[in-house]
Structure 1
């Protein structure tokens, strides 16, 4: 086995999830992530944790959703499992990135709403999501398999403590700010971040960060006004969205379009009331990610990007006792800032993808 698989498992268990002896750990393993699961199991054994391994397959999910009558239940047995877990690890990496493409949107919406308590329960654990490089993901990224493995491990096996220090400056700017404005081609968007707390997402639950790789600073915007173009293609529920345009008034999407799979965008927006509002503003800062791969786990962390998520807001960004945007979905859409400007309270923080504290910034 590639030594880097073991290194990946070590970062996941030790740095990201901070697993301790006696922790009850649910490990959700995708079809193609067997090798990483073996390495993770070894690390959990060394730590004296208690793993429970589940199988996660988009093809299995497709068969279930396509055959069901649409009256879904929460699944109390699965809820009990998650509620009794200390840590939840999701190891992604399937065989077909479009396995769910032909499942009717109504079925996916109904299932998403019914299983919302499961997602809430997972978020109460020390949960971390990562991905094992597979041939299907390499194909989706337009890369040779060997090339894709190099890309993944360059993004995952970082000096995360050092990167956390670099990203702290962006967190300070957002925590002190009241309004963020983004301007570029077909984009002029303003959103309030007043009374919000930004998360320095350095791939560890210690930082309220739950993705590996990570490398972003995110917060929960509100009172969004204007229009935005998302020109980075992204696959949602097996369908590739391209050149998504959204118009906001009073914080809500009032108009939308997409050059490809507009019907899937509409399905997302119609999931529930919260799906037409933003739950996240994320600023990519991982310079180890140097190309788009049609995988949001990587693409949204790229240093020249900003992403906005339709749907659920994260509690870590909100004042204690305040409920942010609620939704059964959290769908990230990405815009390339290599030709744009981001301002916080009227001051330029990033121009053409370069932050003001980086070499090459032009004020």
Structure 2
């Protein structure tokens, strides 16, 4: 076994999930992820955890959804399992990144709504999602398998404490701020309120309210969004590539939208429910190990020189106790490249210009 796989498992179990002896752990394993699943299982055994392993397959899910009548149950049997666990680990990968492309949009929406309670229960765990480099993901990234492996491990096997310390500077600024404004060229000028919200220093560990490995972003839950934003980074949603997305906001809601390719997919997402037309997240990428786009949101949204906004569900970690944020059955991130002709302001003060933060040597006010 590749030594990097074992190191990945160690980081996942110890730094990210913080597994302790006696913890009840659910491990969901996608197709093509056998080696990492073995390494994680070994690490969990060494730590005295109690493990239930689930099999996850996009092709199996496709078959199920295409055969269903759209009257989905609430998944109470799965809910009972998740609610009884302490830790949840998802290992993503798969054989075919487009396996779900021909599942009817209405069926997807019905299934997503029915499983909302299960998703919420997963988020209530010490939950971490990671990815094992597979050939299908390398192909989607337009990279050789060997080069893709190196890319993935550069993003994952980092000094996470050092990155957490740097990102804490941005968290402090956002926590103290009231309004964020993002300006990119002549196509994006959007403002949003962050007053009363708590930013998450997403340092790839549940200790930092972070549920992704790799991570490397600082995010918060904006509201009262006004203006227009364009996303120039192509992303795959529901098995289809969507490019050149434009969203126009009034009173916090998307009132106009367009896309240069597969606009219908964007429309299906925004029509999921009322919350799908409002923002649930503003995130700023800060992982220096991610240096290219790979058409995978787990990596692309963490890339330095990017900002992403997500329509749909807001995360509880960003909200004051007792306050509800935006509710939705979806949470869909869209990414903008801010490496040139851009500025990110908090309460009128420039925090990042052309991808460079104000505490960095190359920053120009």
Give the alignment's TM-score, normalised by structure 2. Answer: 0.99
Q: Which residues of structure 2 form unaligned runs of 5+?
A: none
Q: Distance in 1 between matches of 2:24 and 2:268?
A: 36
| Matching residue of 1:290 | 291
Alignment pair present for 1:342 and 2:344: yes
| Matching residue of 1:112 | 112
| Matching residue of 1:252 | 253
Q: Secondary structure at the match of 1:77?
A: helix
Q: Secondary structure at the match of 1:294?
A: coil
| Matching residue of 2:94 | 94
| Matching residue of 1:274 | 275
Alignment of 1:5-84 (within 5 A): 5-84=5-84
Q: Distance in 2 between matches of 1:254 and 1:71?
A: 31
CA distances 1:191-239 after superposition (whole Å, capped 9, x unpaired): 0000000000000000000100000000000000000001111111111
Q: Secondary structure at the match of 1:228?
A: strand
CA distances 1:85-107 after superposition (whole Å, capped 9, x unpaired): 10010000000001111111111
Cα offset for 1:14? 0.3
When the two chains are superposed, the root-mean-square deviation of aligned CA atoms in Å is 0.6
Cα offset for 1:76? 1.1
CA distances 1:112-142 after superposition (whole Å, capped 9, x unpaired): 0010000010011000000000000001001
Alignment of 1:155-304 (within 5 A): 155-185=155-185, 186-304=187-305
Q: Distance in 2 between matches of 1:214 and 1:255?
A: 31
CA distances 1:239-293 after superposition (whole Å, capped 9, x unpaired): 1111110000000000000111111111110111100000000000001100000
CA distances 1:295-324 after superposition (whole Å, capped 9, x unpaired): 000000001000111100011111110010
Q: Secondary structure at the match of 2:304?
A: coil
- Count of aligned pairs between the two proteins: 363
Q: Distance in 1 between matches of 2:188 and 2:86?
A: 42
Q: Distance in 1 between matches of 2:212 and 2:41?
A: 19
Q: Distance in 2 between matches of 1:262 and 1:89?
A: 33
Q: Secondary structure at the match of 1:357?
A: coil
Q: Which residues of structure 1 form unaligned runs of 5+?
A: none
Q: Distance in 1 between matches of 2:361 and 2:137?
A: 33
Query: Which of 345, 358, 361 is the aligned partner of 2:360?
Result: 358
Q: Distance in 1 between matches of 2:170 and 2:289?
A: 18
Alignment pair present for 1:305 and 2:291: no
Q: Secondary structure at the match of 1:162?
A: helix
Q: Distance in 2 between matches of 1:263 and 1:221?
A: 26
Mean Cα deviation higher: 36-45 or 338-347: 338-347
Q: Secondary structure at the match of 1:98?
A: coil
Q: Distance in 2 between matches of 1:112 and 1:331?
A: 13
| Matching residue of 2:137 | 137
